[in-house]
Every structure is written in C-alpha cells, then in structure tokens.
C-alpha cells in the first residue's frame, strides 16, 4: 500500500464523517484563532502604550515651579509662581552651546471658552512657536502660533481637535472663526492633529495662544507654569538637568539645592516608569499567550483523543482485514496533519480578523507578528498531531481482537 | 490445510489464570464446512480468534497452509489475515457511512491492489451475494441481512484459504439468517473452506462437520449428514 493510497484513504474517511471532521476542525480553529487574536490584541495594547510615551516628546526635561517653603509650610509642586520668562531666556542663552536644543516657556490655565452658543471649560496654553516641535504637535489645518503673533500679542488661537469639535461641532473647520476667552475675542488660525490622549492635560482638548497674549492680555500673570527643555541628545539628559538646576538656583539666589523653588522632571523618569509598565505588560501578554495556548491545546487534545478513541473498533477492523500497524498509524497521522493544517489556516484568518475587528472597536493600533502566528500554529499544530498520533498508535498496538471488542 | 496440535490458551487477569483452551487438536481439509459449537464460555470464540490469526496461542501449534502461525511476527500475521482469511463477524463490522462498494474494497486496499481491479472485483462479489443494486448504499441504508452479505462479499474478495464466520446470523432476523446460510452453502459447494462458530443447533446443521467444544476441550467431532436432506 503506497503513500498515495494511504492519503486517499485518510481523506475519504475525513469527508465521509463530516460531523466529526467539522467538530475537530472547529476545535482547532477556536484553539489557534483565539491564541492569535489574544496575542495580537496584547501586542496592539503594548504598541498603544509605546506610542503614547513617544508622543510625549523626545529628550524632554520639564521645569515646574513649586516646593517653596515659607514660614515652615512647604507648598505643593506646581502651585508656586516662581518661574519667569527670564528663567527660560537664561536657560536658552547659557546652555544652547552645551546641552540644550530648545526651550519652550509655557503658561497654562483653565478657562471658560465660548464660540457662538457653544461653550466649554478647557485648558488655555500660552506658547511660543517652538512648543510645536518640542511637544510634537502637528497642525492639520491652518498654522500654529508664529513669532509675529508672539511679538504682536496677536489675539489668535490654535484649537486641539476635541476643543474644536466641542466649540464648533464635529467635522467643521473653525479656521477664521472667533472664540471668546476671558472676555476677549480670539481668531482661530489652526487646528492640531489628534494625539489620542485623555485626562486633565489632554493635548487634544487644549487651546494654544501666544504666550505673550496669555500672560498680558488674558490672565495678567507674568509667571510661567512650566518650561519645557529639549536636551541635545539622550546622553546629555542628566547633564542638562544638573546644569539647568544650578543655573536656576543661581538665578533665584538660592544656595542650597534642598531649598529649590522649582522641580525638574526628566523624561527618563517617565520612561523608566513607562518601561516598568511595558515590562509588566509584556509579562501579562506572555501569560495570556501561555494560557490561551494551553486552553486551545487542551481543546485540540480533547477532540483528537475523543475522535481517535471512538474509532478503536474501526482500527481493530482494519487490522483484522490485514492493515499493518504502520499503515494505520500513517493514516491517522495524515488525518491529524490535514485537520490541524486546515483548522490552522482557517483559525489564523479568523484570529487575525477578530483581532483586527476588536482593535478597531477599542481603537487600538492593530499589531500582528509572524512570531505569534508561528507560535500559535506551531504549538497547537504539534498538540493536534501528537494527540492524533498517540491514541492511534495505542489503539493500533492492541491485539486486533481487543480493539474490535472495545466499547 | 489447517492443523491444530495441542493448542492451549491461558488468559491472565491479575492473579487469576483462566484456561480458555486446553490441549485442543484437530485438522480441517480444504473444502470442508465446519461448525464449531458450544455454549458461551466454552472457548469457541478463543479458538476462532486463534484460527483467524487475531490472537496467539499460549502453547501448541497452529499451521495454516504450511505456515506455523504461532511463530509469525505482527506484520506477517497481518498479511495472513489479509490474504488467507476472510472474516464474517456477528456485528458485521462495516465501516459506518461508507458505501458497500467501498467496504468490500478495504482488504484489497491493504493488499495494494490497483483501484480499477479493486472496483471490478468488489462489483463481482457484491453481485454474487445478490447486492448488485445496492452497491452505493451505505451501511445504515441496508438491512441486517444485507449488511452481512456485504461482509461476506468483503471476506471473499481476497480469495482466502478459509472463511471464518463468528455467529454470522446472531444479529439478523430468522428469515434473513436462512438466506445467509444458503450463501455459505453455495460458497462451500464452489470449493470454499468455511469455519463457522455458532451456538444454535439449527444453524450448525447447515455445516458438513460439527465440532463441539466445552470448557476448552473438544467433546464431539461428527460428520453431519442432514444437510443434503435439509436442502431437498
């Protein structure tokens, strides 16, 4: 009996028992599909976290006021008004030659904003033009705040996409429309590209105005709420942090670093926290993959064990009619390979489709890796073939009469 | 053609030894139609399994066509079952959801016979057992008697030295049982050697020789003269 005959016997057995074949393939589809979908969703979430971190800006140091002590009471970080525009200018002048690439002084405050009959309470950010580069903000229509706007205390505003849709409605371009902030009319000159954030300082739900306008015209406050500093490279981050610290201590006439009335946050701090998060996530992902592989594998194992075991009598009959052990094992092995292969292919398509649909639904980036597919198909396939082969071998090793009598 | 000498079979379960066959000896010549009779537990099924190369004896020898079956390897036994023995089981043992034509081809597939030849032979033997118009029917579409006729066709296609029938009428209605026995008689008339296990006297009466077995020993071996009379 040659291989071609064994294959055709295996295939005809599979096609004759459509229900059994269908169930076995379904088991494998679910096993492999769920593993691929889960791994892919996990990878998508991981990518989403990484993207959020990337979008914070590269090599970023943030100086914020705070930590002043007066009469034994230490005020909370971020609430003091000790940073000024001249601090930012000095950092720029003194350190641009060594470690600092760009400096962006910022003033932000929450305010009620109206446009026609719509109003919203949002974050007004006074910025200089370089804010866009440092904070990685892109404009989808119109322009960002310019140097001329800054010098002329222009009453112009750039809206974040959420703020724009809150004030003007979804899909309407608000450029050249006017909004009212703090009783003053401002002309909208641009809308930024969505960065996909949420929370209190959501860049999508912000309105950017020239720093000079914010300080002098809108809020009448000469302090800054933060200074963002972009270091020249990742390597000089620590050095830049130290230099800014000493420079500001000197500017503020403070001798002791412990009495500093400002704090400097390095993106390294955020990154190390974030890498802990992604590390936990990777572990979680591994756990999900391992559990789904286990569950999928057990499902496949069950269906293969059941189908082969219920065929013990058939194996006995085939042996009684002259089939050699090797031939029977080959036939069952071919059946298992065929089932696993068919189920694996369909499962892969369904798994990818499911994860695509789910990542759209949860607005996560869609990520799929060849490794995860290979892992799912490799492990589940090996289990399918192993548990198609092993009980068949066991049954084929029985005396034909024992197999025939098997109930 | 069949020589059985001092055959014994002992089953061991845990510490209990059961003597299923004890020192059985007999010969069967080509063209005989032998019924092996006995109550359940007499050892007749064990004897049938050894004669069918489905099981090996504990001691003694069994020679079929000059081959000492007790000395053969598992694969050689498979060849013996394939080429020299045609089985007819009480429970028919056809492949489910498979056509009669395909069922009859099964032993020929394992013998490596080409597909065109297989189909020709399968059709010939299905016609012989009177199922020319049922070849594409699956087992569940056939009556018990028809299923057993498919099984008989299957036992014949390899032109075996012996046909071994284990209670062939045990699962079918009496009227159909008579038809099955007529087929066996007809095959015997054409020169086929048939060994049939049964516990029913009237079924055994169709054979030319009746071996009676009890408690693992042969207690009777008689020529049966009634058969010709029954036919007339």
How confident is the model over A104-114, as pLDDT tens digits?
999 999 999 99
In B, minimum Cα distance to A3 occurs at B112
Interface residue A54 vs chain B (CB under 8 A): no
Q: Which H or E run includes A375?
A: helix A370-397
Sign of torsion, CA A267 A268 A274 A275? Answer: positive
The pLDDT tens digits of the residues spanning B1-10 come to 899 999 999 9
Structure tokens at A50: 């990484």
The pLDDT tens digits of the residues spanning B65-94 come to 988 998 889 999 999 999 999 999 999 999
The pLDDT tens digits of the residues spanning A244-302 come to 999 998 888 888 877 788 888 887 677 677 777 777 877 887 787 778 778 777 877 88
- Inform me whether the pLDDT recorded for A14 exceeds 80: yes
Between A19-23, A284-288, A398-402, B13-17, the lowest mean confidence (pLDDT) is in A284-288
Q: Specify the pLDDT at position A381.
A: 83
CA distance A130 to B153: 93
Between A38-42, A281-285, A371-375, B55-59, the lowest mean confidence (pLDDT) is in A281-285
The pLDDT tens digits of the residues spanning A313-346 come to 899 999 999 999 999 999 888 988 888 889 889 9
Interface residue A1 vs chain B (CB under 8 A): yes
Tokens 């008697």 locate to B145
Interface residue A12 vs chain B (CB under 8 A): yes
**A127 to each of A87, A211, A252, A397, B142, how far by Cα in Å?**
15, 4, 23, 81, 89
Tokens 């009996």 locate to A1
Report residue B231's pLDDT band, with 50, 70 and 90 as the boundaries: very low
Q: Which H or E run includes B176?
A: helix B174-189
Interface residue A325 vs chain B (CB under 8 A): yes
Interface residue A314 vs chain B (CB under 8 A): yes
CA distance B33 to B193: 6
Q: In 3D, which of B69, B101, B109, B61 has the Cα closest to residue B85?
A: B69
Contacts of residue B101 in chain A, CB cutoff 8 Å?
none
**Mean per-residue pLDDT for A44-56?**
74
Shortest distance between the Cα of B56 and any Cα of chain A, in A, equals: 9
In B, minimum Cα distance to A319 occurs at B78
The pLDDT tens digits of the residues spanning B142-193 come to 999 999 999 999 999 999 999 999 999 988 888 899 999 999 999 999 999 9
**Mean per-residue pLDDT for A213-217?**
92
* Interior/surface letters B157-177, b for 16+ CB within 10 angstroms, e for the rest: bbebbbbbbbbbbbebeeebb
Please name the residue ranges forming H helices in A207-324.
211-212, 237-251, 267-309, 312-320
Report residue A78's pLDDT band, with 50, 70 and 90 as the boundaries: low
Interface residue A311 vs chain B (CB under 8 A): no
Using the 8-state DSSP alphabet, how is residue B95 labeled? P
CA distance A97 to A333: 71
Task: Compute the C-alpha angle B226/B229/B232, nearest 5°.
Answer: 155
Q: Are A188 and A142 in contact (CB under 8 A)?
A: yes
Sign of torsion, CA A373 A378 A383 A386? Answer: positive
Tokens 């799929």 locate to A368
CA distance B164 to B183: 14
Q: Specify the pLDDT at position A57.
A: 65
Report residue B14's pLDDT band, with 50, 70 and 90 as the boundaries: confident
Q: Which residue has the higher pLDDT, B221 or A32?
A: B221
CB atoms within 10 A of CB B123: 17
Bridge partners, B164 (sequence order): B87, B195
Q: Which residue has the higher pLDDT, B3 or A51?
A: B3
Closest partner CB to B54 (pick from A2, A313, A400): A400
Structure tokens at B88: 């007819």
Contacts of residue B93 in chain A, CB cutoff 8 Å?
313, 317, 320, 404
A350: exposed, middle or buried (C-beta count within 10 Å: 0-12, 13-18, 19+)? middle
In A, minimum Cα distance to B154 occurs at A321
Q: At what angle do helices B100-111 and B144-156 cross, to 10 degrees?
A: 20
Report residue B232's pLDDT band, with 50, 70 and 90 as the boundaries: very low
State the average pLDDT for chain A.
84
Report residue B34's pLDDT band, with 50, 70 and 90 as the boundaries: very high
Closest partner CB to A322 (pick from B49, B81, B96): B81
**Mean per-residue pLDDT for A338-364?**
89
Cβ–Cβ below 8 Å for A16 and B79 = no
Q: ipTM value of the model?
A: 0.91
Structure tokens at A347: 């499962």
Cβ–Cβ below 8 Å for A9 and B109 = yes
**A10 to each of A4, A16, A342, B50, how far by Cα in Å?**
10, 10, 14, 30
Q: In 3D, which of A312, A298, A290 has the Cα closest to residue A27?
A: A298
**A406 to each of A100, A310, A315, B191, how far by Cα in Å?**
82, 9, 10, 35
Cβ–Cβ below 8 Å for B81 and A325 = no
Closest partner CB to B97 (pick from A17, A320, A401): A17
Interface residue A400 vs chain B (CB under 8 A): yes
A248: exposed, middle or buried (C-beta count within 10 Å: 0-12, 13-18, 19+)? buried
Using CA atoms in the order A142, A148, A150, A155, what is the torsion angle rounded to 10 degrees?
Answer: -60
CA distance A30 to A351: 8
Q: Specify the pLDDT at position B129.
A: 93
Report residue A54's pLDDT band, with 50, 70 and 90 as the boundaries: low
Highest mean pLDDT among A235-249, A363-377, B155-169: B155-169
Contacts of residue B74 in chain A, CB cutoff 8 Å?
324-325
Q: In 3D, which of A289, A312, A336 has the Cα closest to residue A21?
A: A336
**Mean per-residue pLDDT for A343-356?**
91
Q: Specify the pLDDT at position B229.
A: 46
Going by their DSSP bridges, the two strands B193-198 and B162-166 should be labelled as parallel
Interface residue A320 vs chain B (CB under 8 A): yes
The model's pTM: 0.69
Report residue A307's pLDDT band, with 50, 70 and 90 as the boundaries: confident
Structure tokens at A82: 């000790």
Contacts of residue B112 in chain A, CB cutoff 8 Å?
1-2, 5
Cβ–Cβ below 8 Å for B78 and A9 = no
Contacts of residue B109 in chain A, CB cutoff 8 Å?
1, 5, 9
Q: Are A388 and A74 in contact (CB under 8 A)?
A: no
**Mean per-residue pLDDT for B26-49?**
92
Contacts of residue A317 in chain B, CB cutoff 8 Å?
93, 95
CB atoms within 10 A of CB A310: 11
The pLDDT tens digits of the residues spanning A176-205 come to 999 999 999 999 999 998 876 655 567 888
Using CA atoms in the order A258, A264, A269, A273, what is the torsion angle rounded to 10 degrees?
Answer: 90
- Inform me whether the pLDDT recorded for B230 exceeds 60: no
**Domains annotated on chain B, with CATH:** 31-58+71-231 (3.40.50.300)
Q: In 3D, which of B214, B209, B200 has the Cα closest to residue B227?
A: B209
């Amino acid at each position: 009996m040659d291989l071609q005959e064994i294959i055709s016997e295996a295939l005809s057995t599979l096609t004759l028992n459509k229900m059994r074949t269908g169930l076995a393939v379904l088991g494998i589809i679910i096993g492999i599909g769920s593993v691929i979908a889960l791994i892919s969703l996990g990878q998508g979430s991981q990518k989403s976290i990484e993207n959020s971190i990337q979008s914070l800006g590269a090599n970023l140091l943030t100086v914020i006021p705070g930590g002043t002590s007066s009469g034994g009471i230490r005020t909370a970080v971020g609430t003091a008004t000790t940073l000024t525009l001249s601090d930012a200018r000095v950092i720029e002048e003194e350190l641009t030659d060594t470690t600092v690439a760009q400096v962006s002084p910022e003033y932000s405050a929450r305010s009620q904003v109206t446009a026609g009959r719509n109003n919203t309470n949002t974050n007004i950010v006074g910025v200089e033009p370089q804010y866009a580069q440092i904070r990685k903000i892109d404009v989808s229509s119109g322009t960002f705040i310019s140097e001329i706007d800054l010098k002329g205390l222009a009453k112009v505003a750039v809206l974040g996409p959420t703020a724009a849709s809150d004030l003007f409605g979804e899909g309407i371009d608000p450029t050249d429309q006017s909004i009212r902030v703090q009783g003053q009319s401002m002309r909208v000159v641009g809308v930024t590209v969505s960065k996909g954030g949420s929370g209190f300082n959501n860049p999508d739900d912000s309105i950017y105005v020239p720093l000079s306008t914010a300080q002098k015209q809108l809020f009448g406050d000469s302090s800054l709420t933060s200074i963002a500093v972009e270091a020249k490279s990742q390597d000089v981050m620590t050095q830049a942090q130290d230099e800014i610290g000493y420079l500001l201590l000197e500017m503020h006439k403070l001798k002791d670093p412990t009495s500093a009335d400002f704090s400097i946050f390095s993106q390294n701090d955020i990154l190390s926290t974030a890498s802990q998060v992604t590390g936990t996530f990777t572990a979680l992902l591994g756990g999900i993959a391992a559990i789904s592989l286990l569950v999928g594998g057990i499902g496949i194992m069950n269906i293969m064990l059941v189908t082969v075991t219920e065929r013990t009598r058939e194996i006995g009959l085939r042996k009684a009619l002259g089939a050699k052990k090797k031939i029977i094992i080959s036939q069952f092995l071919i059946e298992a390979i065929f089932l696993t292969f068919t189920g694996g292919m369909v499962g892969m398509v369904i798994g990818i489709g499911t994860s695509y649909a789910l990542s759209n639904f949860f607005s996560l980036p869609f990520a799929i890796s060849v490794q995860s597919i290979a892992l799912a198909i490799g492990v589940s396939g090996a289990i399918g073939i192993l548990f198609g082969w092993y009980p068949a071998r066991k049954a084929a090793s029985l005396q034909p009469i024992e197999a025939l009598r098997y109930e | 053609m069949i020589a059985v000498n001092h055959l014994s079979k002992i089953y061991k379960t845990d510490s209990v030894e059961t003597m299923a066959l004890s020192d059985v000896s007999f010969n069967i010549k080509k063209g005989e139609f032998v019924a092996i009779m006995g109550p359940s537990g007499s050892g007749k099924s064990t004897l049938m399994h050894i004669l069918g190369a489905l099981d090996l004896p504990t001691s003694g020898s069994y020679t079929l066509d000059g081959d000492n079956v007790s000395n053969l390897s598992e694969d050689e036994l498979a060849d013996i079952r394939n080429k020299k023995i045609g089985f007819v089981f009480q429970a028919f043992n056809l492949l489910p959801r498979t056509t009669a034509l395909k069922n009859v081809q099964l032993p020929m597939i394992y013998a490596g016979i080409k597909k065109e030849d297989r189909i020709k032979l399968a059709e010939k033997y299905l016609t012989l057992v009177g199922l020319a118009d049922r070849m594409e029917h699956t087992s569940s579409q056939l009556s018990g008697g028809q299923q057993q006729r498919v099984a008989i066709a299957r036992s014949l296609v390899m032109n075996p030295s012996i046909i071994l029938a284990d209670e062939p009428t045990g699962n079918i209605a009496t009227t159909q049982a008579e038809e099955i026995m007529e087929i066996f008689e007809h095959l015997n008339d054409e020169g086929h050697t048939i060994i049939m296990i049964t516990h029913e006297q009237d079924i055994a009466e169709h054979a030319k020789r009746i071996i009676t077995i009890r408690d693992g020993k042969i207690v009777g071996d008689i020529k049966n003269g009634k058969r010709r009379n029954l036919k007339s």
